[in-house]
Amino acid sequence: MTKNRGDAMHEPEDKLLFQHKNAADVMGKTETEAADTYAEGYIGFLNRAKTEREAVTEAIRMAQGKAFVPWRQGMSFAADAGGTAARVYVNQRGKAVIFCVRGKRPLSEGISIISSHIDSPRLDLKMRPLYEEAGMAYLDTHYYGGIKTYQWTGIPLALHGYIVRKDGSGVPVCIGEEREDPVLFIADLLPHLAKTQMERPGKELVKAEDLDVLAGLRSFPGASGEGRIKRNILRILHEKYHITEEDLISAELSVVPAFPARDLGLDRSMVGGYGQDDKVCVYPALTALFAAEAPEYTACVVLADKEETGSLGMTGMQGAFFSNFIEDLAESSGEKARVILSQSFCLSADVNTAYYPLYPEVFDPHGEAALNHGVILFRYWGRGGKENTNDAQAETVANLRRILDDAGVLWQTGEGGQVDAESSGTLSRFFAALDIPTVDLGVPLLSMHSPFEAAAKADLYMAHRAFAAFFTRPGQ
Ligand code: MN
Ligand code: MN
């Protein structure tokens, strides 16, 4: 039933119209069940990949048994020659990763790229986070990415991250995910005393500097006086991780929601959970790549860090790791990197907003995407007069339309909010800057950047089908 939905339209006048279709109307029982099964794997992924380091580890784990080998400079990369690598990955310092499957055609005919980001908004611990006040120990935070501060109070929080000791040895941290683990939390003011607080503008309702995590009340055994509560927390961290307070300076510790992702809605039509921006695109990009056996074009998934803070740094998309990899591939095949890039095709797979009728004032009433209406194709998403955006070229968009329709994928367009109401960006501009035709295709989310975001299972499943169709498209 999913073969070319356009065939179902018999009336010539219907062919003149482009209409968003609701999965509730067009997805049959079999396909809905397939979407439900697919979402189970996704929920497991979300729960194991709350930070970018965990996402890299989990993605490489998913690739196990699928013949991927770590890329080494000078390696040959060919589909047919015995003993050479046809499926490789690049682990970029544990926080970004590239997976690449050799296609049948020469690299000079271009590669198919899907890029998504594996970082999500959260609260990072400061370098000297631990302090004691009024008999309570706190962990001081600095938020990462765009958050509404008030959403982070009064919910169970977990501590995830990585500490590197002075001798270079590292230790992963995860507290608050197991049933027997304690969780953390940020206290809010009781409504009885919040009269003045509630009159403050939303941005100042909870000041960013007040997002301090309550860590404990008990004192160091036998100690008395100021500092005994803080020292007791350090004792616990030392017992568990063999670290001192100074080691927290060379640590990446993040506070994230402690609750797991799960089915959402009485009809189980959605997935609710933290970090779906952008893991709701990351997971289908990976499953689509891992399912691509011998694609016509070389297929590549790039999972980047630091998108939420501007894509800077060694693991962000403005870093050199992707270009360096393409240089390596070019060298191994005797091609020119710039030829490979300009012949390639990139889908920037990131989330976009869905229309929500309780807040009609921020949405375009005619052009907005809707939850449960399939993947969103969007050409631009920036601010003001199309600043900060790729604004995909018409030829690129037409190519994608053909791929989606040929595969019978349910898709729609989205504006990402009213003109001048929106302020956002995706990775597409960084790929376009390398002279790669690039367009955005992602999944609609509700409550984006909140501790508990919602995606429709139908849209998630359509992302997998769209990405699979992209990677396995026939040559032109
Ligand atoms: Mn995003
Ligand atoms: Mn985001």
How many angstroms separate the CA atoms of 54 and 96, rounded? 10
Percent of the chain residues past pLDDT 90, beyond the cut: 89
Closest CA to 259 of 124, 129, 154: 154
Give domain 122-257's CATH superfamily.
Aminopeptidase i, Domain 2 (2.30.250.10)
Other CB atoms within 10 A of residue 63 CB: 19
Q: 330: CA distance to ligand 2 center in Å?
A: 32
Ligand closest to CA 317: 1
How many angstroms separate the CA atoms of 32 and 326, rounded? 39
Q: 373: CA distance to ligand 1 center in Å?
A: 19
Q: Where are the domains of the chain?
A: 13-120+274-471, 122-257
Q: 448: CA distance to ligand 2 center in Å?
A: 7
What's the angle, vertex CA 157, arms to CA 154 and CA 163, rounded to 5?
145
Give pLDDT, residue 383: 87
Q: 264: CA distance to ligand 2 center in Å?
A: 21
Element at 235 (helix H, strand E): helix 228-241
Q: 289: CA distance to ligand 2 center in Å?
A: 23
Beta carbons of 372 and 410 less than 8 angstroms apart: no
How far apart, in Å, are the Cα atoms of 362 and each of 193, 213, 221? 32, 33, 55
Does domain 13-120+274-471 fall into CATH 3.40.630.10? yes
How many angstroms separate the CA atoms of 41 and 362, rounded? 34
Condensed to tens digits (0 to 9), the pLDDT of residues 79-137 reads 665 545 699 999 999 999 999 999 999 999 999 999 999 999 999 999 999 999 999 99
Q: 453: CA distance to ligand 1 center in Å?
A: 12
Condensed to tens digits (0 to 9), the pLDDT of residues 334-376 reads 999 999 999 999 999 999 999 999 999 999 989 999 999 999 9
How many angstroms separate the CA atoms of 295 and 281, rounded? 20
Closest CA to 140 of 122, 128, 157: 128
Residue 462: band (very low, low, confident or very high) from pLDDT cuts 50, 70, 90: very high
Tokens coding 102: 């050799």
Q: 459: CA distance to ligand 1 center in Å?
A: 16
Q: 303: CA distance to ligand 2 center in Å?
A: 14
pLDDT at residue 290 above 50? yes
How many angstroms separate the CA atoms of 412 and 156, rounded? 36
| Rounded average pLDDT over 425-449 | 97
Give pLDDT, residue 2: 46
Give pLDDT, residue 404: 98
Burial status of residue 444 (CB atoms within 10 A of its CB: 0-12, 13-18, 19 or more): buried
Greater confidence (396 vs 77) lies with: 396
Compute the mean pLDDT over every residue in the chain, rounded to the nearest whole number: 95
Q: 76: CA distance to ligand 1 center in Å?
A: 34
How far apart, in Å, are the Cα atoms of 406 and each of 8, 264, 395, 457? 14, 31, 17, 22
Q: 183: CA distance to ligand 2 center in Å?
A: 25
Condensed to tens digits (0 to 9), the pLDDT of residues 47-74 reads 999 999 999 999 999 999 999 999 998 8
Q: 278: CA distance to ligand 1 center in Å?
A: 5
| Rounded average pLDDT over 218-238 | 97
Q: 449: CA distance to ligand 2 center in Å?
A: 6
Describe the strand order of the beta sheet including 136-144 as a list of residue ranges.
170-175, 157-164, 251-257, 122-133, 136-144, 213-216
Cβ neighbours of residue 115 closer than 8 Å, sequence gap 6 or more = 301, 302, 303, 304, 317, 346, 347, 348, 349, 427, 428, 431
Q: 321: CA distance to ligand 1 center in Å?
A: 20
Give pLDDT, residue 1: 41
Q: 73: CA distance to ligand 1 center in Å?
A: 31
Least confident of 182-191, 260-269, 386-395: 386-395
Beta carbons of 403 and 471 less than 8 angstroms apart: no
| Rounded average pLDDT over 442-465 | 98
Closest CA to 274 of 452, 55, 44: 452
Q: 397: CA distance to ligand 1 center in Å?
A: 20
Give pLDDT, residue 84: 58
Condensed to tens digits (0 to 9), the pLDDT of residues 128-144 reads 999 999 999 999 999 99
Token look-up 């080691």 returns: 247
CA atoms lying within 13 Å on the CB side of residue 170:
10
Q: 120: CA distance to ligand 1 center in Å?
A: 8
Residues around ligand 2, an ion, CB closer than 5 A: 277
Q: 416: CA distance to ligand 1 center in Å?
A: 12
Q: What is the DSSP letter of 305?
A: B
Tokens coding 461: 């499943």
| Rounded average pLDDT over 281-296 | 96
Q: What is the DSSP letter of 99?
A: E
Ligand closest to CA 280: 1
Give pLDDT, residue 294: 87
| Rounded average pLDDT over 397-404 | 98
Residue 382: band (very low, low, confident or very high) from pLDDT cuts 50, 70, 90: confident
| Rounded average pLDDT over 291-312 | 96
Least confident of 225-229, 332-336, 379-383: 379-383
Q: 278: CA distance to ligand 2 center in Å?
A: 7
pLDDT at residue 381 above 80? yes
pLDDT at residue 304 above 60? yes
Amino acid at site 234: L
| Rounded average pLDDT over 402-431 | 94
Q: 308: CA distance to ligand 2 center in Å?
A: 5
Q: 58: CA distance to ligand 2 center in Å?
A: 20
Element at 173 (helix H, strand E): strand 170-175
Q: 466: CA distance to ligand 1 center in Å?
A: 18
Q: 196: CA distance to ligand 1 center in Å?
A: 35
Helical axes 457-471 vs 276-291, angle rounded to 10°: 40
| Rounded average pLDDT over 206-225 | 97
Tokens coding 378: 């969007």
Q: 50: CA distance to ligand 1 center in Å?
A: 14
Q: 146: CA distance to ligand 2 center in Å?
A: 7
How many angstroms separate the CA atoms of 212 and 142, rounded? 9
Give pLDDT, residue 424: 85
Phi and psi for 35 in degrees, rounded to 5? -65, -40
